[in-house]
Amino acid sequence: MEIITTAFLAAHIAMGTTALICGAIALSTLKGGGIHKRVGRVYFWSMFGVLVTAMALAILRPNLFLFLLAIFSFYMAFSGTRRTRMKQPAKPGVIAPLDWTIGIVTLITGTGMIAVSLIDVTTFALHWNPILGSVSVTRNAVTIKDVIQSAAMNPL
C-alpha cells in the first residue's frame, strides 16, 4: 500500500509542479495567443491530474480536507476553461448538464468545507475551510447566476 501511496504522491507533485510552471507562463503571455492557449491546455490537464491524484491520496490516507481542496482547486481551472469555450456556445441559451453537475458538486464541496471547519476544530483545515468554502460557494453562485442569465437572454 505504501508503494501505491508513494507513486500517487510522486505523480501529484510532478503534476502540481507542471501546473504551477504552466500557470506562471500562461499569466505572463498575451491572453488568447498561441503560447497562452497551448500552455493553458497543459495547465488544465495538469490540474486534472492533481485532482485525480489528490483524491486518490485522500482516500488512501483518509483526509477530507485534501479531498475537498482537490475539487475546489480543479473547479477553478475547469471554470476558466469552460468560460473560454462558452464564449461561442453551440446552442445559445442551452445549459449543458455538465455545467449543472460541476456547479452543484462545487456548491456541495464549498458547503462541506465550511461544515468541516465547524465540526473539526483541531486541524489546520479549520483556518482554510471557511475561507475556501466561502470562496467556492460565492464563485459557484455567480457562475450559476451567469448561466441562468445567459439562458434567459438567449431562449431556444
Q: Are residues 145 and 115 in the same domain?
A: yes
CA-CA distances (angstroms) from residue 88 to 11, 41, 85, 152?
35, 18, 7, 16
Mean local confidence (pLDDT), 9-21 = 95
Q: Are residues 31 and 87 in the same domain?
A: no
> Taking 90 as the threshold, does the pLDDT of residue 109 lie above it?
no
Instruction: Decide which of 17 and 111 is more confident.
Output: 17
Residue 46, domain extent: 1-62
Q: What per-residue confidence (pLDDT) applies to 104?
A: 83
**Among 47, 62, 77, residue at a domain's last position:** 62
The count of structural domains within the chain is: 2
Q: Are residues 82 and 119 in the same domain?
A: yes
Model pTM score: 0.71
Q: Are residues 51 and 73 in the same domain?
A: no
Tracing cell 475561507 back to the chain, one arrives at: 131
Please return the burial class of 75, using the count of CB atoms within 10 Å of its CB with bins 0-12, 13-18 and 19+.
buried
Mean local confidence (pLDDT), 49-66 = 90
In the chain, pLDDT over 70 holds for what percent of residues?
Answer: 69
> Taking 70 as the threshold, does the pLDDT of residue 16 lie above it?
yes
Q: Are residues 58 and 82 in the same domain?
A: no
| pLDDT tens per residue across span 125-148 | 445 555 555 655 565 555 555 555
Query: Where on the phi/psi map is residue 150: left (φ > 0), alpha (ψ -120 to 50), or beta?
Result: alpha
**Among 39, 62, 85, residue at a domain's last position:** 62
C-alpha cell at 150: 445567459
In the chain, pLDDT over 90 holds for what percent of residues?
Answer: 31
| pLDDT tens per residue across span 39-50 | 999 999 999 999
Q: What per-residue confidence (pLDDT) applies to 42?
A: 96
The amino acid at 77: A
| pLDDT tens per residue across span 80-103 | 888 777 766 556 556 678 877 888
Q: What per-residue confidence (pLDDT) applies to 155?
A: 47
The three-state (H, E, C) secondary structure of 56-75, written as one string? HHHHHCCCHHHHHHHHHHHH
Q: What per-residue confidence (pLDDT) applies to 138?
A: 63
Nearest to 150 by CA among 105, 96, 102, 109: 96
Tracing cell 477553478 back to the chain, one arrives at: 76
DSSP string, 82-140: HHHHTTS-SSTT---HHHHHHHHHHHHHHHHHHHHHHH--SSTHHHHHHHHHHHHHHHH
**Among 62, 78, 100, residue at a domain's last position:** 62
